[in-house]
A and B are shown apart, each in its own frame.
Chain A
């Protein structure tokens, strides 16, 4: 069964550094998403991406964040200058259509020191 793949599983970085979280969505899916979950809190929507552009973003997704689909398979989330409060689990998801089921990756745990 195809799965959404995320790398790395754990990323440790220093405050102020740039990080790139990588995702390989399911191959015939057209919609891509990033969510995050701060420890002990709910899973929160960050951004959705369709047809090579952002289709919706939350207030969390400020200028420090960007997303990109650099080739036909990868979908990345970049945080330009990480802050302590960016420490969280980041989940990538994909769906075939906007109203379809979203399939989640196993997540990347980002630790900002």
Chain B
């Protein structure tokens, strides 16, 4: 069975500080990993997918198959980064569903 774990329910940092939101997954095959973000009163929207290997809004995430992790990082947090962040896994093949972690609420303080 596939599982996504986000160990931190809440994370609070100051503006300009580095931030790392942790995500670990459990899946025996080759999954595709995503980070979705939900700003206050807005819909879930894609932030990053691992196959794109791009940086969005200063965020990056590297898939580490050895540690089965896909941590989200940003070197200098901004107040507008405050949001709920969800890590999600797609197992690929003939499967269609996304499996989500419980989410981490990031608060960036001025």
Contacts and interface: CB of A to CB of B under 8 A. Distances in A.
A46 B11 CA distance: 29
Interface stretch (A17-25, A66-74, A102-110): A102-110
Interface string B75-110: 000000000001010101011111111110000000
Interface residues of B, number: 23
B42 A106 contact: yes
B43 to A, nearest CB: 4
A98 interface: yes
B84 to A, nearest CB: 10
B90 A42 contact: no
Interface string A36-57: 0000011111001010000110
Nearest to A43: B100
A45 B45 contact: no
Contact of B96 (A41, A98, A101, A104): A98
Nearest to B95: A56
B101 A42 contact: yes
Contact of B103 (A42, A102, A103): A42
Interface extent on A, as a size class? 20 to 34
Contact of B45 (A43, A48, A104, A107): A104
B44 A99 contact: no
A90 interface: no
A102 B98 contact: yes
6 contacts: A4-B43, A42-B102, A45-B97, A58-B97, A104-B44, A106-B43
Q: Name the 6 nearest CB pairs between A and B, nearest first.
A: A45-B97, A48-B96, A104-B44, A43-B100, A106-B43, A42-B102
